[in-house]
């Protein structure tokens, strides 16, 4: 069959709904200044779907730094990949400042987190090595694991007994191949909001297991720990992480990412990550902007504002009888029983009648019969926003229980 004929008849698990969903449930356009209140289809909405934890996206000092850097450098400089012609003193400065803040030996700046994290996994392991990873790792990590030509074993989310079992299997294999073991997990799992069990994983080393630990802490960096180093700091095992992945797309409200590790590992990755060797360096305005964002992350009270909102939101929802699962981060998943049709109806009701914009997740991301409303609190939200949202969710819960969301809404085009 011709490739184009095949895709015409199979739009994929989400694409099959594109005719009715596009522009409303999928690919919606949030417009206006980035913040807690934006515009959706010409209407002001309270949004809980923006990864802008520290509220830096529109902070005046940040906007000025971005504008000044763009005026001075433009978006083209530097041209080329880091290895060839894309290296600058500003890139090196940002790497040094991140390494210092994270209290790790060295850091490498990435143009994008997704492709950089994939590429780091690909570069680190050989066919003789074995990867052990959490089942709920982000798609970029899973795609990196898929590139691996050796053995890989997955364990159920945060299940330390099964993790230990997979390490035992991996150990037997590397004893024969002469390879090593890379264990991959996350600092904060972006959908459920619970932290990876880093402390328990580190304890497995004391039981004789020999592995290197890679942690993707995209949601933990800047939000967790006394300094904001992330989940490792929060759990007291930051120095036990061998390879730490972080992104600018969450707390720093920008583009780009980084890897922290030993100087030897970072030097190796710089010469062997295909996504960096063969792709353009991060543009200068984004680098200069990240330097300013890192300074604010370290020296402002934005994290305290974030947690004031987070604590109020999560406590209020729990007090109202909502199930937030096992979240111990800012990610706030509200889990309720319901069908896909009811999820669609709830989304429409929240946006049209209550002016609340939030992400709603259904099967296969969550089990059948469950609806997950994921809220991302930020430092730019207010306590009034929190109170209004909790009261609205109470009303939605009553409507759901009364069966008012049982009829699928017509398409919104």
Look at residue 410 in the predicted model and tell me its pLDDT: 39
Rg from Cα positions in the chain: 22
Q: What DSSP character marks residue 194?
A: P
Q: DSSP letters along 272-311, please? A: H-HHHHTSPPPPHHHHHHHHHHHHHHHHSSHHHHHHHHHH
Question: What is the C-alpha to C-alpha distance for residues 248 and 367, in angstroms, rounded to an integer?
Answer: 31
Look at residue 369 in the predicted model and tell me its pLDDT: 87
Q: DSSP letters along 63-100, please? A: HHHHHHHHHHHTTTPSPS-TTTT---HHHHHHHHHHHH
Question: By the 8 A CB rule, do 232 and 201 touch?
Answer: no
Residue 168: which of 150, 179, 153, 149 has the closest Cα?
A: 153
Confidence at 26, pLDDT banded by 50, 70, 90: confident
Q: 189-205 pLDDT, tens per residue? A: 999 999 999 999 999 99
| CB-based burial label for 163 (10 Å; 0-12, 13-18, 19+) | buried
Go through 173-194 and write b for each residue having 16 or more CB atoms within 10 A of its CB, e for each that does not. bbeeeebbbbbbbbbbbbbbbb
Question: What is the C-alpha to C-alpha distance for residues 76 and 86, in angstroms, rounded to an integer?
Answer: 10
**Given the structure tokens 């947690």, which residue do they identify?**
307
Mean pLDDT of 87-95: 97
Please, what is the end-to-end C-alpha distance for the chain in angstroms? Answer: 33
* Longest alpha-carbon distance in the chain: 63
Question: By the 8 A CB rule, do 174 and 129 touch?
Answer: yes
Cβ-based neighbour number of residue 301 at 10 Å: 11
Q: Which two tokens stand for residue 120?
A: 């780091």
Question: By the 8 A CB rule, do 145 and 133 touch?
Answer: yes
Domains defined for the chain, CATH in brackets: 3-54+301-401 (3.90.1150.10), 60-299 (3.40.640.10)
- Beta strands at 212-216 and 243-247: parallel, antiparallel or unpaired: parallel
Q: 255-266 pLDDT, tens per residue? A: 999 999 999 999
Look at residue 407 in the predicted model and tell me its pLDDT: 53
Compute the mean pLDDT over every residue in the chain, rounded to the nearest whole number.
Answer: 94
CA distances 66 to 52, 292, 378, 382, Å, are: 16, 9, 21, 26
E strand spans, 148-264: 151-155, 181-186, 212-216, 243-247, 257-261
Look at residue 413 in the predicted model and tell me its pLDDT: 43
Mean pLDDT of 134-155: 96
Question: What is the C-alpha to C-alpha distance for residues 180 and 265, in angstroms, rounded to an integer?
Answer: 15
Question: What is the C-alpha to C-alpha distance for residues 105 and 113, in angstroms, rounded to an integer?
Answer: 20
Residue 182: which of 278, 261, 98, 95 has the closest Cα?
A: 261
Q: Is the pLDDT of residue 408 over 80?
A: no
| Angle formed at CA 313 by CA 309 and CA 315, multiple of 5 degrees | 120
Q: Is the pLDDT of residue 300 over 80?
A: yes
Mean pLDDT of 168-189: 97
Question: By the 8 A CB rule, do 306 and 378 touch?
Answer: yes
**Given the structure tokens 């990240």, which residue do they identify?**
290
Mean pLDDT of 319-333: 95
């Amino acid at each position: 069959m011709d490739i184009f004929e095949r895709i015409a008849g199979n739009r994929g698990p989400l694409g099959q709904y594109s005719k009715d969903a596009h522009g409303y449930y999928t690919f919606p356009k949030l417009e206006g200044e980035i913040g807690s209140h934006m515009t959706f289809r010409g209407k002001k909405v309270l949004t809980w779907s923006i990864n802008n934890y520290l509220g830096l996206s529109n902070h005046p000092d940040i906007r000025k730094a971005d504008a000044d850097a763009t005026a001075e450098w433009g978006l083209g400089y530097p041209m080329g990949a880091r290895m060839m012609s894309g290296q600058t003193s500003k890139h090196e400065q940002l790497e040094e400042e991140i390494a210092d803040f994270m209290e790790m030996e060295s850091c490498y700046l990435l143009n994008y987190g997704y492709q950089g994290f994939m590429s780091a996994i690909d570069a680190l392991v050989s066919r003789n090595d074995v990867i052990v990873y959490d089942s709920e790792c982000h798609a970029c990590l899973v795609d990196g694991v898929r590139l691996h030509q050796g053995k890989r074993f997955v364990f159920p989310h945060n299940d330390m007994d099964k993790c230990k079992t997979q390490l035992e299997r991996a150990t037997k294999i590397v004893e024969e191949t002469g390879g090593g073991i890379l264990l991959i997990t996350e600092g904060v799992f972006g959908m459920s909001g619970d932290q990876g069990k880093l402390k328990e994983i580190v304890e497995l080393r004391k039981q004789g297991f020999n592995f290197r630990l890679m942690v993707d802490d995209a949601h933990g960096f800047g939000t967790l720990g006394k300094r904001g180093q992330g989940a490792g700091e929060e759990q007291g095992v930051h120095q036990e992480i061998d390879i730490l992945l972080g992104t600018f797309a969450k707390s720093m409200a920008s583009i780009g990412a980084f890897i922290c590790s030993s100087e030897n590992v970072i030097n190796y990755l710089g010469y062997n990550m295909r996504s960096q060797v063969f792709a353009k360096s991060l543009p200068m305005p984004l680098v200069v902007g990240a330097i300013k964002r890192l300074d604010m992350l370290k020296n402002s009270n934005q994290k305290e504002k974030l947690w004031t909102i987070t604590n109020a939101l999560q406590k209020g929802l729990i007090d109202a009888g909502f199930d937030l699962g096992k979240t111990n981060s800012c990610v706030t998943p509200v889990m309720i029983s319901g069908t896909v049709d009811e999820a669609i109806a709830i989304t429409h009701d929240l946006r049209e009648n209550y002016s609340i914009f939030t992400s709603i997740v259904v099967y296969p991301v969550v089990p059948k019969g469950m609806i997950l409303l994921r809220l991302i609190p930020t430092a730019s939200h207010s306590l009034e926003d929190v109170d209004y949202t909790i009261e609205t969710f109470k009303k939605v819960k009553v409507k759901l229980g009364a069966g008012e969301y049982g009829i699928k809404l017509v398409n919104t085009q």
